[in-house]
Structure 1
Amino acid sequence: MAQAQGLGKRYIKAFFKGFFVAVPVTVTFLDRVACVARVEGASMQPSLNPGGRQDSDVVLLNHWSIRNYDVQRGDIVSLVVTSLALH
């Protein structure tokens, strides 16, 4: 019984070590390199959601190309607009 408790503690400790390493690495990757986004609606037809489907398409947003100014004609660019309320 004591051996099983020691084994459980080791697994929990290993899980938290991995968790605290994996989360910052994943957040950094999604912020700096690439992330996945869902495109819904008719605004991007016929390139995305062709045929008038009501389904959504999944796209990979490449942050790396934007940082290197490697945007070419025909590329789809996604912008995120945030508003700040200044009082």
Structure 2
Amino acid sequence: NRALEKQYLKAFVRGFFVTVSVTVTFLDQVACVARVEGASMQPSLNPQWSLSCDIVLLNHWKIRNYEVHRGDIVSLV
């Protein structure tokens, strides 16, 4: 019983670190989620001034491949 618990714990820890590594790499290299708050992007995003905000997916591939076109929204950090 104790050996089985130890095996499950090892598998969980291994899976946890793999999942965290893949998630961090994805968010850094491929895309990430961001909130749009305030009036800076109105009327396209967050059209009505309220306590709510819009959620957007930022595509990192487009900027790395220089595929930015007129009308695209670009986020700077």
TM-score computed with the length of structure 1 as normaliser: 0.81
Aligned residue type for 1:69? Y
**Residues 1:55 and 2:52 are matched in the alignment:** yes
Report deviation, 1:19: 1.5
Structure 1, unmatched stretches of 5+, are 81-87
| Bigger relative contact order, structure 1 or 2 (CA pairs below 8 A, ≥6 apart) | 2
Higher Cα Rg: structure 1 or 2? 1
Aligned residue type for 1:15? F
1:18-37 CA distances to partner (integer Å, 9 max, x unpaired)?
Answer: 12212221111111100001
1:68 matched residue in structure 2: 65
How many pairs are equivalent? 77
TM-score computed with the length of structure 2 as normaliser: 0.90
Structure 2, unmatched stretches of 5+, are none
Aligned residue type for 1:52? W
